[in-house]
Amino acid sequence: MTEMVYGAMPVAGGEPVLPKWWRTVDRWSLSCILILFAVGLLLGLAASVPLAERNGLATFHYVQRQAFFGGLAMITMFVTSLMTPLMVRRMAVVGFFLAFVALAFLPILGTDFGKGATRWYSLGFASVQPSEFLKPVFIIVAAWLMAAGQELGGPPGRLYSFVIMVAIVLMLAMQPDFGQASLILFSWAVMWFVGGAPMVLLATLAGVVVMAGTFFYNASEHFARRIDGFLNPEVDPTTQLGYATNAIREGGFLGVGVGEGTVKWSLPDAHTDFIIAVAAEEYGLVMVMFVLALYSTIVVRSFIRLMRERDPFIRLAGTGLAAIFGVQAMINMGVAVRLLPAKGMTLPFVSYGGSSLIAGGIAVGMLLALTRTRPQGEIGDILRGGRR
């Protein structure tokens, strides 16, 4: 009645989108990502110039392309981080369907660019690697299925996610791309573990992985050659691993100086898979430890925020995204120092590569969106309430 006489009370508008985003996003992780991109441009100035000269291109051709694709990645990351978890899930479902179909048609329509593995679609002016885009959307879809399976009367989400994971891993192994296949398997196993999988099943899965590795070692010359090269105590100094190992050794603690490194003239993948070797040679151990600290900060802060999350889907999806981000960086640097077999995997936001940069922007944007603070009680409140 009062509203009919005097009019409705004015409703205060909600908080504007950008101030709310800035207040709730993890600014430490966001800053680390921007710094990693800046480091990638800095290292690209050193690592990609020799390759541009060998290919008869402009001196800073690859640096300019990295800046362009990196700019798109930063925009994509920002837009994605503005989304709600529901919007992230919906976008991931559509993206998963498109990426899965693209991956399935790679043997027919894809190309290997002379590298022995059919992983890309050539668009003429650029190339697209579907597996890079499949990783983050698969994690979201798998987390959604696992979370739905925990609900009363829900579907067998773990089984569905397992079937999808196996299908993806088999398609990647056929390329062959065992590095991306291992990341898909690892991310699914981490989410399965966080979701409450029994240790017996995890041990069984580990045994299956060992058996599969043995099979592919005997069946794939590409896989066997990389494993044999890793196990061989003698490192051929004329191989990529040999050049990278020598560069890291020469760099020492402070490096040989900006622009004074020589490994970039020998390594064909100095601007992609082995860019950390360029950093170690020219800037020394100090730069490598700085890069490690940036990745560690992003992963640890994401896990800390996710530990307070009550929504199972957000907790599982965020854990999978943070884990795969950190492990990919660890694998790339582990290969360069010969702790792991060669994988052909980029260093997120640092290595050159359009697909890697934009897909990384999507993945980290999703992670930032899922780890934003929301008006909810912490999970510890539930545990304390249960003990009363």
DSSP notation for 8-29: PPPPPPPPPHHHHHHHHS-HHH
Neighbouring-strand partners of residue 121: 128
pLDDT > 70? residue 381: no
Name the pLDDT band for 385 (thresholds 50, 70, 90): low
CA distance 387 to 367: 32
Condensed to tens digits (0 to 9), the pLDDT of residues 258-268 reads 877 878 877 77
Helix H or strand E encompassing 121:
strand 121-122
Name the pLDDT band for 247 (thresholds 50, 70, 90): confident
**pLDDT value at residue 323:** 95
**pLDDT value at residue 70:** 94
Lowest mean pLDDT, pick from 15-29, 186-200, 211-225: 211-225
CA distance 234 to 44: 30
Condensed to tens digits (0 to 9), the pLDDT of residues 339-353 reads 887 777 889 999 988
pLDDT > 50? residue 82: yes
Mean pLDDT of 351-377: 89
**pLDDT value at residue 93:** 96
Residue with tokens 């919906």: 90
Neighbouring-strand partners of residue 294: none
Count of other CB atoms within 10 angstroms of residue 68: 12
Condensed to tens digits (0 to 9), the pLDDT of residues 165-213 reads 999 999 998 888 888 999 999 999 999 988 887 777 778 878 887 887 7
The residue segments making up the domain with residue 114 are 24-372
**pLDDT value at residue 387:** 46
Bond before 176 cis per omega within 30 degrees? yes
**pLDDT value at residue 218:** 78
Name the pLDDT band for 286 (thresholds 50, 70, 90): very high
Condensed to tens digits (0 to 9), the pLDDT of residues 87-145 reads 999 999 999 999 999 999 998 888 887 777 788 888 877 788 999 999 999 999 999 99
Count of other CB atoms within 10 angstroms of residue 304: 11
Q: Give whole-number Cα distances, 175 to 198, 267, 352, in Å.
A: 32, 24, 22
Lowest mean pLDDT, pick from 183-192, 303-312, 338-347, 364-373: 338-347
For residues 298 and 2, which has the higher predicted lDDT (pLDDT)? Answer: 298
Condensed to tens digits (0 to 9), the pLDDT of residues 224-233 reads 777 776 676 6
Mean pLDDT of 54-64: 85
CA distance 147 to 43: 41
Any domain includes 5: no
**pLDDT value at residue 341:** 78
For residues 1 and 375, which has the higher predicted lDDT (pLDDT)? Answer: 375
Count of other CB atoms within 10 angstroms of residue 271: 28
Nearest in space to 115 (alpha carbons), one of 176, 54, 178, 179: 176
CA distance 355 to 332: 16
* Dihedral (CA of 47, 53, 59, 60) sign: negative
Q: Give whole-number Cα distances, 286 to 55, 267, 325, 341, in Å.
A: 32, 22, 22, 25
Residue with tokens 């490096």: 255
Any domain includes 12: no
158: left (phi over 0), alpha (psi -120 to 50) or beta: alpha
Any domain includes 247: yes
Nearest in space to 164 (alpha carbons), one of 99, 221, 226: 99
Any domain includes 378: no
For residues 306 and 209, which has the higher predicted lDDT (pLDDT)? Answer: 306
Any domain includes 336: yes
**pLDDT value at residue 4:** 42
Q: Would you say 350 and 272 are in contact if contact means Cβ atoms under 8 Å apart?
A: no
**pLDDT value at residue 213:** 77
Mean pLDDT of 276-299: 93
Any domain includes 269: yes
Domain count, the chain: 1
Q: Would you say 283 and 251 are in contact if contact means Cβ atoms under 8 Å apart?
A: yes
Which stretches of 48-177 are DSSP H helices? 49-54, 61-81, 85-104, 106-109, 130-149, 157-174
Name the pLDDT band for 8 (thresholds 50, 70, 90): very low
Considering only CA atoms, give the Rg of the chain.
Answer: 23
CA distance 225 to 219: 11
